[in-house]
Amino acid sequence: MATQTHFEPQPTNDLNSLDNYPLPLSPPLPLVSKDVELNRALTASSRSALFSLSHNDVIFEDDWLIAVNKPQGIYCESVLSAVPNLLADTNNEHGTKVPELHLANRLDRDTSGVMVITKSHKVAAKLVKAFTEHKVRKTYLALCVGPAPKWGQIIVRSGHGRSKHGAWRVYAASDVGRTLPGGSVVKDMQTSFQALSINGFGCLEAISESGKEGGGDLLIVEEKSPVDFDMKKDEILIRACPQSGRTHQIRLHCQYLGIPIRGDIKYEGVYEWKGKTYDGHELHAETLSFTHPVSGQSILLQAPLPLWANQALGLQR
């Protein structure tokens, strides 16, 4: 990747801001990301205003939950707003009212994949509690661009928090618990990664192993990433399993590993690649698995693969 210009903080005489706060280990936002992100947000707002769901988007539904496959470039709130119309025909047939709907999980605007909506306050509270207590297992797929990793599997443990300019950044694992500007604290962040393919070749059968826990060496982050961004660039499909639920967690850890997600310009991902300009990052919420909050049954929800994932696995050319 070519060298990028970043927002750098201005010098200050406030010793508290310089000496008493932990320093982020990931770089600030690239300067070019401001305009690109603004344009993406405007486009997403227009698309989201017209968004509707069809029954083909439904992954799972029962009396308490409905899970849908969220597309890239649509806000979560617009998906939630589209559910009543989706349910209206069925409810009218049975003479029942549209239930009170709540988002059980949120995805970034440009992240596609499994979204769960609950149909009552009680079920929502139970599922939120399961997410909070890390009893919901999540897997994601991401198409990254960077030097091919030397690991097949790896676990990354670091700190996570907002820098003094409000951007989410990676911090040292040893900084967890320390106070940040604004009064928040550095929180723990851990993600396991598995490399599925490199330049379209690799472990083709890995796509069927999404239910297996990740392994590999443990990387405890204590210093800035040593990755050389001027090395040869490859296309790497990875599966990520976040063991914590921090904002932009997978995107930040991919950036730290030197393999930012394609299209993720906020975290140094390529915006233009092989003659194509990307409208968003290529990150997909592949699966959610949890104990049903009412029936107690084990539930595994899996979203269909996006085109870029199929191509990276060599399943479609």
Contact 248, 267 (CB under 8 A): yes
Active site residue 108: yes
CA separation for the pair 169, 35 (Å, rounded):
20
Query: 3-state DSSP call for residue 56?
Result: helix
Residue 225: exposed, middle, or buried by beta-carbon count in 10 A (0-12, 13-18, 19+)? middle
CA separation for the pair 8, 71 (Å, rounded):
34
Query: 3-state DSSP call for residue 201?
Result: strand
CA separation for the pair 297, 291 (Å, rounded):
6
Contacts of 272 (CB under 8 A, 6+ apart): 278
100 φ, ψ (degrees, to nearest 5): -80, 120
Q: 């063991």: which residue's tokens?
A: 243
Instruction: Considering the candidates 57, 108, 175, 264, report the single residue annotated as catalytic.
Output: 108
Catalytic residue numbers read 108
